[in-house]
Amino acid sequence: MQANPKLSAEDAYFLLHGYFSLIQRAGANVLTEVLHTIDPLRFTVMNQNSVNGMMFAGYRTFPQKPNKSNVNATICADFCAKANRVCNALELLDLRELDALFNYAHWTN
């Protein structure tokens, strides 16, 4: 499966949120994991690990416990854009490496 390159992060999250809205326990982390799996160059995972990692990078405006009720398409798109900035600043290959770094930092901290 390949992501539509014309679909913005905001539109992709909004579209997927519509499908997942009635699925209990499928929160923002699951939605962003799906998007990230489809296109790790454009979409990042948004979970507690990555939010904490972004805090280390100086971005402190995101919900500490992201879920479907406190993350909307605009917040997701902003998170992806800022995660891409962090990824580029660290000279990582793609958002998969950033996700792995955030997971490592979370589990070793």
Give the span between the Cα atoms of 5 and 91, in whole angstroms.
Answer: 23
Indicate whether 1 pLDDT > 50: no
Indicate whether 26 pLDDT > 90: no
In this prediction, residue 90 carries a pLDDT of 97
In this prediction, residue 8 carries a pLDDT of 87
pTM: 0.88
In this prediction, residue 54 carries a pLDDT of 96
Give the span between the Cα atoms of 87 and 71, in whole angstroms.
Answer: 21
* Average pLDDT value for the chain: 90
User: What is the mean predicted confidence (pLDDT) over 26-46?
Assistant: 91
* Contact criterion met (CB below 8 Å) for 16 and 33: no
Q: Is 87 exposed, middle or buried (0-12, 13-18, 19+ CB in 10 A)?
A: buried
42-89 pLDDT, tens digit each? 999 999 999 999 999 999 999 999 998 899 999 999 999 999 999 999
Coil, strand, or helix at residue 13?
helix
Give the span between the Cα atoms of 62 and 70, in whole angstroms.
Answer: 9
